[in-house]
Amino acid sequence: MQWREVLFFITVFILLTSQGVRARSRYEYPFSQNLKIEPGAKVIIENLSGDIRMSQGAPGQLIIGGKKVIKVPSERSAEKEAKRIKVEVKREKGKVRIWVKDGRHGDRVFFGFWKKVSSWVDFNLLVPPGTDLEVSSTSGDIRAEGVKGEIAIKLTSGDLCLEGFVGSTNVHTTSGDISLKGIVGRVNIEGTSSDLELSGIKGDVDISVTSGDIEGRDIEGNLTVGGTSGDVEIVRLRGDLQIFLHSGEVKANEVQGGVRVETTSGDVNIKAALQEGKDYQVDTSSGDVGFKVMGNNPFNLIIDTASGDINVKAPLIINSISRNHLEGKVGKGGSTVRITTSSGDIELSQ
């Protein structure tokens, strides 16, 4: 290759890359559409990239608002991009489907590093009371406030916040934090890598997470948690508690219902008010266990540990005892508290 050809390619390279480093401005193009929909209709919204906000509107009226957001070096380029991106709305029997056509996710890339255009669509919906929602997003946050109806959410990358929602809730997330507050209705959550915060829930809750911490407060309903890795902390639960965890610490305070906790690795601390006819069982392969009985109700006690100390701070009538086993009752007996650990200390108090 001659030096003139080398110089030519270098010049072209510099010209191209100089376009990529030009400062990009942000341009916004709002849109709005009003639709009359029948009671009980379902609204389906699909967004590739951008935030979705939903709140309750007037009966029988769906308002689809939002904005197209473009980041490019010039306004002319932004206008061209905004015209290309279409927000489509289609009525079907008992449904309204909303999606973005020809949207681009993230930046366009040239030669592996030249970034010129970013574009996405942010939605802001007002939905009638009693409207069921089906929402999916690849990248962006989702938020819903004060909505009444069933909701199903599929989110690949982004945070989710639901507040003051009335209706059953089904959530599937791949990456992003989840916050649910003041929900009335059954809740089902599946997350791959997500931290979860629950508060003021009235309804049964079923959670399955691969990795992430879980915090729940003031829940009225049965709570079931399954996870691979992450800590679980529950405060004030009026319902049965079931936790199946591979690795992580479990703390449950002021539980009024049955308790079943199984972990492979991690400490477990439970404070529960015993109820007649309920089971209370903690089983961990490796970790210390603390169990505090609230109130003065009588109960039966069975403790087993392959390697660890046993400490009971209660007026226990002992039926049998050995280095790694203890069995007895407090008062006349009642509900059974059974604690087992392969390696770890156990302390029960009342």
Report yes or no on 124 lying in a domain.
Answer: yes
Q: Would you state the pLDDT for residue 3?
A: 52
Q: Would you state the pLDDT for residue 12?
A: 45
Report yes or no on 49 lying in a domain.
Answer: yes
Average pLDDT over residues 306-313: 92
Report yes or no on 273 lying in a domain.
Answer: no
* H-state helical runs in the chain: 3-20, 75-84
Share the mean pLDDT of the chain: 89
* Residue 108 pLDDT exceeds 60: no
Quote the percentage of the chain above a pLDDT of 90.
77
Choice among 30-39, 59-68, 103-112, 223-232 with the minimum mean pLDDT: 103-112
* Residue 114 pLDDT exceeds 90: no
Q: Would you state the pLDDT for residue 30?
A: 97
Please state the domain count of the chain. 1
pLDDT digits (tens, 9 = 90+) for 268-287: 999 999 998 899 999 999 99
Q: Would you state the pLDDT for residue 2?
A: 57
Query: What phi and psi, each to the nearest 5 degrees, are found at residue 80?
Result: -65, -45
> What is the value of pTM for the model shown?
0.86
* Residue 120 pLDDT exceeds 90: yes
The domain in which residue 93 lies consists of: 22-140
pLDDT digits (tens, 9 = 90+) for 95-106: 999 999 875 544
Report yes or no on 180 lying in a domain.
Answer: no
Q: Would you state the pLDDT for residue 73?
A: 87
Average pLDDT over residues 163-169: 94
Report yes or no on 92 lying in a domain.
Answer: yes
Report yes or no on 97 lying in a domain.
Answer: yes
Report yes or no on 218 lying in a domain.
Answer: no
pLDDT digits (tens, 9 = 90+) for 184-209: 999 999 988 889 999 999 999 999 99
Report yes or no on 103 lying in a domain.
Answer: yes
In sequence order, what are the beta bridge partners of 178?
A: 160, 196
